[in-house]
Amino acid sequence: MFKFDTLRWRDGVLEMIDQRALPARVEYLKYDSAAAVADGIRSMVVRGAPAIGCAAAYGVALEAQRLIHKPRDAFLYGMEQGMTALAASRPTAVNLYWALNRMRAKLDNLRDATVPAAADALLAEAHAITGEDVRLNRQMGMHGAALLNDSSRVLTHCNAGALATAGHGTALGIVRSAVEAGKRVHVFANETRPFLQGARLTAWELQQDGIPVTLIADNAAGLLMRLGEIDAVIVGADRLAANGDVANKIGTYSVAVLARRHGIPFYVAVPISTIDPVMPSGACIPIEERAASEVTGYGRTQWAPSGVAVRNPVFDVTPAELVTALITERGVVFAPDRTKIRAHLAG
Ligand code: MRU
């Protein structure tokens, strides 16, 4: 349904929709190196865990194209530097490292290939990662849609939609799949302070698809739950620890606590690539802190007094005990814990 590409390969370069400009302007920026893509990730041109992974894979592929005429040693040295720059772009979403590991494994397997053949194979791998992401989101959507009744009112936080992935979305992919299956779903979008992914991105992307959406201030969620106006919460994740703790956009934890207080199911939609089996618990997940200017204003507008002290952690951790179910491309895991997650990953 959604007609905009989050990222696309055109004429030998990567183009990414500039998510900082949405919804005011739909603009694509062009990228031709790993360093440039790392900058695009850091500066939030592209954001959302799976989309960051796809962008990083293309960053590696672009670097290989850029170094295609170099001797083998210089090529490998440059590739290493490119991957290091990409790995340093943002710390929390594990899909970034998952995609880089997959690209590195591909490169390692090409030990006997010529540099041009290796570059071609890396581009094919980046295309594969991106294509798979859409397919997996559709599978996740199908599993999740089965959990929603007709006329469900779903609260979501941040943007876990087509814009956060290669297409369809994780949390919003479930909504899209439910709508495609003929269910009437109404989404309540938390605005998601401070970067406003809910107000700017979720509200816009659902409007584009004609899916009913009501934007609310983050602090209105509790009242709506108490009034009985929310049937389910569905969010995405940036990293899921081995014990089921969920790192997602700051404010997710508060929503999960509210949902438990009101007996509302709290679902987390995650591709397997977002599960970090070596991260023992959420306490160990690195939480990104971003610039104070994201809290004191937006764009050119500043509303807080100059010089005020600010904290801006942009993710939080929701303990597994608050999660009703995980929804992955493989199915649904109710009341997730370490044992069930291990079994889900093995199966
Ligand atoms: O800082 P962002 O916009 O990259 O954070 C994104 C989120 O927290 C999303 O909810 C998460 O990546 C899930 S996306 C499918």
pLDDT, tens digit (0-9, with 9 covering 90-100), for 123-170: 999 999 999 999 999 999 999 999 999 999 999 999 999 999 999 999
Length of the chain: 347
Is pLDDT of 111 > 90? no
Query: How much is the average pLDDT of 309-318?
Result: 98
Confidence at residue 299, expressed as pLDDT on a 0 to 100 scale? 86
Using pLDDT thresholds of 50, 70 and 90, give the confidence band for residue 63: very high
* Cβ of 247 less than 6 Å from ligand 1: no
Domains of the chain plus CATH, in order, are 7-137 (1.20.120.420), 141-346 (3.40.50.10470)
Is pLDDT of 347 > 90? no
- Atom in ligand 1 nearest the alpha carbon of residue 52: 4
**Pocket mutation for ligand 1, best pick of 41, 159, 192 (most atoms within 8 Å of C-beta):** 159
Tell me what percent of the residues of the chain surpass a pLDDT of 90: 98
CB 275 within 8 A of CB 341: yes
* Cβ of 137 less than 6 Å from ligand 1: no
3-class DSSP assignment, residue 302: strand
* Cβ of 50 less than 6 Å from ligand 1: yes
Confidence at residue 97, expressed as pLDDT on a 0 to 100 scale? 98
What are the tens digits of pLDDT across the range 140-152?
999 999 999 999 9
3-class DSSP assignment, residue 110: coil
Is pLDDT of 61 > 90? yes
Q: How far is the CA of 18 from the centre of ligand 1 (A)?
A: 15
User: Which among 248, 245, 261, 320 has a CA at the least distance from the CA of 287?
Assistant: 248
Confidence at residue 92, expressed as pLDDT on a 0 to 100 scale? 98
Query: How much is the average pLDDT of 82-108?
Result: 98
Tokens standing for 143? 């599993």
Tell me what percent of the residues of the chain surpass a pLDDT of 70: 100
* Cβ of 89 less than 6 Å from ligand 1: no
Q: Give the integer Cα–Cα distance in Å for 38 and 265.
A: 36
Q: How far is the CA of 62 from the centre of ligand 1 (A)?
A: 24
CB 269 within 8 A of CB 232: no
Q: Give the integer Cα–Cα distance in Å for 176 and 79.
A: 38
pTM, rounded to two decimals: 0.97
User: Which among 86, 85, 165, 79 has a CA at the least distance from the CA of 122?
Assistant: 79
**Pocket mutation for ligand 1, best pick of 233, 249, 268, 329 (most atoms within 8 Å of C-beta):** 249
Arithmetic mean of pLDDT over the chain:
98
CB 250 within 8 A of CB 242: no
Query: How much is the average pLDDT of 195-200?
Result: 98
Phi-psi group of 53: left, alpha or beta (phi > 0 → left; psi -120 to 50 → alpha; rest → beta)? alpha
* Cβ of 46 less than 6 Å from ligand 1: no
Is pLDDT of 57 > 90? yes
Active site residues: 238
| CA count, 13 A, side-chain hemisphere, 239 | 30
Query: How much is the average pLDDT of 91-103?
Result: 98
Which residue matches tokens 């849609």? 145
Measured by CA distance, the residue closest to atom 8 of ligand 1 is 249
Long-range contacts formed by 20-25: CB under 8 A, 24+ apart? 20/44, 20/45, 22/163, 22/200, 22/201, 22/204, 23/200, 23/201, 23/203, 23/204
User: Which among 185, 177, 205 has a CA at the least distance from the CA of 26?
Assistant: 205
How many C-beta atoms lie closer than 10 Å to residue 84's C-beta?
Answer: 12
Confidence at residue 1, expressed as pLDDT on a 0 to 100 scale? 78
Q: How far is the CA of 164 from the centre of ligand 1 (A)?
A: 6
* Cβ of 200 less than 6 Å from ligand 1: no
**Pocket mutation for ligand 1, best pick of 47, 138, 157, 250 (most atoms within 8 Å of C-beta):** 47
